[in-house]
Amino acid sequence: MPIPVLVKHCALAIYKSGYCSGTKVEQVQESFDIAVSRLIEYGFLWKNAWNVSKVDPSKIKLTAKGKKSERRHQREGDKGAKTKEWNALYKLIQEEVQEDEDSGATSQDAVPAADEPLESRTMQRRRRLAQNARRSARRKPKRVRRAKSARRR
């Protein structure tokens, strides 16, 4: 599934701002992750698109608000210059992932091995549970205090 133009343009703007640090590949990945998380926060993408360490492009799904903005970004008069520029940058990530797969390296978000220390698995589990608690659809109602009146009763 292709990445929406809205996400590409947002990620490119973040990348060009110089906000991200590290190698060029890390900057591209971080700007992509930030763009997706911000678009989720502002209601342009569904919440299932975001993962802690890395965004999976196949899970990105636009909301109605996102689809409207997507059409506006597709009609921009730059003849696809922003999209082409982002695609060139995104190829860096894909090439690095391909090299990692070829060399047999594993991703950091992979399931921990059985010989991995128990503490790290426990910490990963705690982080996952905390995330799920934060993502909960049900919110606890705020406690409302009664206003004090000007006169005593």
123 located within any domain: no
Number of domains in the chain: 1
Range of the domain at 62: 5-109
Q: Is residue 92 part of a domain?
A: yes
Cβ contact 59:40 at 8 Å: no
- Would 146 be classed as within a structural domain? no
29's CB contacts (< 8 A; 6+ apart) are: 54, 93
Confidence of residue 14 (pLDDT cuts 50, 70, 90): very high
As a whole number of angstroms, the distance between CA 84 and CA 15 comes to 14
Render pLDDT for 70-120 as a digit per residue (tens, 0 to 9): 998 888 877 788 888 888 888 888 887 777 777 765 544 455 455 555 557
pTM of the model: 0.60
